[in-house]
Amino acid sequence: MSRAGEEEVVERFLDAASRGDAAQVTSLLAAVPSLLERTDPRGWTALMVGARNGHQNVVQTLLRHGCDKSSVISVGQSASDVAKFWGHQNVSVLLGDVDAESRENYFGREPLDRLSAKRTDSVWLDDRKKHPESVFLLFSGLSPMICRDQQGAQHLCRLGYDAVKDLVDRSDASLVFLGVERRSGGKSSSEELPAWFALSSDEDGAALLERCPHSKGKCSFASSPQRDLLNLSDDDAGVLAPARALLAWHRRYAFCSTCGSATVSEEGGHKRSCRNQECPSNKGVHNTCYPRTDPVVIMLVVHPDGNQCLLGRKSVFPPGMFSCLAGFVEPGETLEAAARREVCEESGVGVGAVRYVSCQPWPMPSQLMIGCLCVAVTTDISVDRDEIEEARWFPRQQVMEALLGGGSRPEPAHAGLVIPPKQTIAHQLLRHWISTGANL
């Protein structure tokens, strides 16, 4: 085969891997097995190209033929790193990233089995409310009761039924069934496991604190959601997310949005039904009766050169802090379209490729933050000051220094870039970009 013919075969092989054509990849390998280790001008193998585009079938085919998954490009990244960077967790796991399956963001852990089938079983729920092993999380409005241990760590206070029994059935209190503890030990049925409830009351906060046996100087109600609620353990944060979001929904939807009549909580606090039996909302299934979650896209926009990212700041941010751009998804809009629209509206920058990375429940009061990585197709910035006050391109090295330096402590603007705390998905998107290297 001539050199020109050989190069043409290599190009066809890499193109097939890029398009996800596993059949052509197999056919070409049968004819020229050495194609496995051939690369494009950037040094990318077919495995890296397939991983870049999330083609699991191609990756599986190449691995079956003995492709070396440990090969790296010039900046030291493997095919697994490439897949991880572009949010293809299934491919990353296939290539040996054992952590990709379990990766989660703060507020995203699920320590409880939601046991949704039991929400309509009023007899079972009534029994669980009074059970001595049941756990109640008490809220003053939307602020959870928090205890501090001897080391100063914060925890959600766990109360028993006796401490709150007079509040449970009061009309001015909201009660939500959160689920049961995950099966462990010798428990044979989820019905035997401790049930958890969230309970919100407008009773005086000081009086509510007296219900906790450990309240003397150790317990309080969270005064700043953005501060206090980001200092819990991952398990506590995972319980808090649905609890606070549901309680916020109950406080805002006491009346029917269809006819204006009063509503009543049902199904363990996971539904509100209109008291007006003639209301259309009582006929069929309507989203006005169920708790809402608002989807929000949050984007890390990467410069075409691969070594800068776009960050913006709002006037309410601490000095020097910049974060990823974000915005609500509109009705009838895809995540990709929402990401492109929001970036353009806020910064004037055009976006091409959009890749999903991970998501985070955000109970302030009830958003789902959908983290995306975007590639810019234009670089000129024109800020909409009704949305943000400033946007800038930040070089990779400066972001890396902010991450290594903590990045979440407010400092004077001249001291360098300050990034959001590690509990936020914005921080994790930045870490994701930095950890997987350049030019991916």
The CATH number of the domain holding residue 90 is 1.25.40.20
Give the percent of the chain with pLDDT over 90: 67
Rounded Cα distance, 135 and 431, in Å: 36
Whether residue 279 lies inside any domain: the answer is no
Same domain, 140 and 242: yes
User: What distances in angstroms separate CA 95 from CA 59, 63, 64, 68, 373, one per listed residue?
Assistant: 8, 9, 12, 10, 21
pLDDT value at 422 more than 80: yes
Q: Where are the beta strands (DSSP E) in 114-217?
A: 135-140, 143-148, 154-156, 174-181, 195-201
DSSP 8-state symbol, 329: P
Which of 150-159, 227-236, 357-366, 402-411 has the lowest average pLDDT?
A: 402-411
Rounded Cα distance, 14 and 189, in Å: 52
Same domain, 387 and 405: yes
Which has the higher per-residue pLDDT, 297 or 64? 297
Per-residue pLDDT tens digits for 263-276 = 999 999 999 999 99
Same domain, 180 and 147: yes
Whether residue 320 lies inside any domain: the answer is yes
Same domain, 132 and 178: yes
pLDDT value at 414 more than 90: no
Rounded mean pLDDT, 194-219? 88
User: Tokens at residue 435, please?
Assistant: 């950890």
Select from 227, 252, 277 the last residue of a domain. 252
pLDDT value at 10 more than 70: yes
Which of 123-127, 146-150, 318-322, 369-373 has the lowest average pLDDT?
A: 146-150
Whether residue 288 lies inside any domain: the answer is no
What was the pLDDT predicted at 278?
Answer: 94
Per-residue pLDDT tens digits for 75-134 = 677 888 888 777 787 788 788 764 544 467 999 999 999 999 999 999 999 999 999 999
pLDDT band at 190 (very low <50, low <70, confident <90, very high): low
Strand partners, 351: 376
In 3-state terms, what secondary structure has residue 135? Answer: strand
**Exposed, middle or buried: residue 352 (CB in 10 Å: 0-12, 13-18, 19+)?**
exposed
In 3-state terms, what secondary structure has residue 8? Answer: helix
Tell me the HSE value of 136 on the side-chain side, using a 13 A CA sphere: 26
CATH number, domain of 199, equals: 3.90.79
Whether residue 228 lies inside any domain: the answer is yes
pLDDT band at 186 (very low <50, low <70, confident <90, very high): very low
pLDDT band at 429 (very low <50, low <70, confident <90, very high): very high
Rounded mean pLDDT, 44-57? 91
* Spatial CA neighbour of 342 closest among 399, 380, 300: 300
Whether residue 50 lies inside any domain: the answer is yes
Rounded mean pLDDT, 126-146? 95
pLDDT band at 213 (very low <50, low <70, confident <90, very high): confident
Whether residue 314 lies inside any domain: the answer is yes
Same domain, 148 and 86: no
pLDDT band at 157 (very low <50, low <70, confident <90, very high): very high
Give the percent of the chain with pLDDT over 70: 91
pLDDT band at 169 (very low <50, low <70, confident <90, very high): confident
Whether residue 284 lies inside any domain: the answer is no
Scan for tokens 């009023």, then name that residue: 122
- Spatial contact of 250 and 176, defined as CB atoms under 8 Å apart: yes
Rounded mean pLDDT, 7-22? 92
- Spatial contact of 241 and 361, defined as CB atoms under 8 Å apart: yes
Same domain, 89 and 174: no
DSSP 8-state symbol, 407: S
Which of 190-204, 330-344, 389-403, 406-420 has the lowest average pLDDT?
A: 406-420
Rounded mean pLDDT, 151-163? 91
Same domain, 315 and 364: yes
Select from 252, 284, 302 the last residue of a domain. 252
**Exposed, middle or buried: residue 263 (CB in 10 Å: 0-12, 13-18, 19+)?**
buried
- Spatial contact of 73 and 45, defined as CB atoms under 8 Å apart: no
Which has the higher per-residue pLDDT, 86 or 18? 18
Which has the higher per-residue pLDDT, 316 or 169? 316
pLDDT band at 1 (very low <50, low <70, confident <90, very high): low
* Spatial CA neighbour of 58 closest among 82, 42, 77, 75: 82
| Cβ atoms within 10 Å, residue 207 | 10
What was the pLDDT predicted at 411?
Answer: 41
Same domain, 304 and 414: yes
Average pLDDT, the chain: 88
pLDDT band at 71 (very low <50, low <70, confident <90, very high): confident
AA identity, residue 269: G
What was the pLDDT predicted at 412?
Answer: 41
Select from 48, 80, 102 the last residue of a domain. 102
Residues spanned by the domain of 323: 294-435
What was the pLDDT predicted at 285?
Answer: 83
Same domain, 312 and 430: yes
What was the pLDDT predicted at 331?
Answer: 96
CATH number, domain of 431, equals: 3.90.79.10
Same domain, 65 and 126: no
Same domain, 342 and 403: yes
What was the pLDDT predicted at 409?
Answer: 45
Same domain, 33 and 120: no
Whether residue 272 lies inside any domain: the answer is no
Per-residue pLDDT tens digits for 317-364 = 999 999 999 999 999 999 999 999 999 999 999 999 999 999 999 999
Domain count, the chain: 3
